[in-house]
Amino acid sequence: MTTIISISNEKGGVAKTTSTLSLGAALAEMSKKVLLIDLDAQANLTLALGLEPGEAEITSANVILEGVSLLSARRKTDVENLDLIPSNSRIESAEQFLPVRTNYTAILKSAIANSAPLPYDYILLDCPPALGAITRNALSASTLLLIPTQPEYFSAYALRNMMNLIRKIREENNPDLSYRILVTMLDRRNRTHRNIHDQLRSTFGEGVLNTVIEVDTKLKESPIVGMPITKYKSGARGSTQYRVLAQELMEYAKETEARQTA
């Protein structure tokens, strides 16, 4: 069974792409087969793995807009067990052209289903910082939505729109969609950070992951050298925390699978 996780937040700058890359690499390090799909026109995930967005002949845009096979778009990376479907600016046109199609929010879900059986334990979808057609496609295809959130007012406030979208997706075509909030860029010395973190836990309960990602300059450096934090600085705090996150999500996936097969 492949666990499909969307990483999304309407608010930019919350470590969404960093979390996709670092979580994917941590899972791959644990011998899980992982596919990352870059769905953002900025192609930061593609760049963070050392690939130029213009180099790839087949990208996520071809999969969504033209029905190209999911597996034909994948690229090997320098990280063992980690593959990537790159992105480029062309995927922006999906926001314009997808909504005129019938059942347009299920296009990515169908592309994944049509590629079954998939040789992956996990598929991670890096969404754009918007709640349009691409993000709706990702959430419709996902088992779980991971919402990276800074412990700051505007980032926490943006969760309202995310919750509204989750309700819509559940009503329309993915009733089993779950979510978990991942607190990122936490500075434990900052009282505001601590207070907002506590408020998030009070408001969302088990919807907030136990794992937190603290501020770590190595996390900002790793995309520049084209590799995930776990490979760039294996002993860094960020590496350790994303490994803990991987373990927590693996446990979640096991529990979910057990409930579905019970």
Q: For the segment 233-259, what is each residue's pLDDT rounded down to a tens digit? A: 999 999 999 999 999 999 988 887 777
Residue range of the domain that includes 182: 3-261
Q: Domain of 218: which CATH number? A: 3.40.50.300
Question: Whole-number mean pLDDT of the chain?
Answer: 94
Q: Which two three-digit tokens encode residue 168?
A: 């819509």
Query: Residue 54, CB half-sphere, CA atoms under 13 Å: how many?
Result: 0
Percentages (nearest 5) of helix, strand, coil residues in the chain: 50, 15, 30
Separation of alpha carbons 165 and 246, rounded Å: 25
Regions in the chain scoring below 70 on pLDDT: 262
Q: For the segment 96-118, what is each residue's pLDDT rounded down to a tens digit? A: 899 999 899 999 999 999 998 99
Query: Residue 168, CB half-sphere, CA atoms under 13 Å: how many?
Result: 14
Note the pLDDT of residue 262.
Answer: 65
Q: Could you give the number of structural domains in the chain?
A: 1
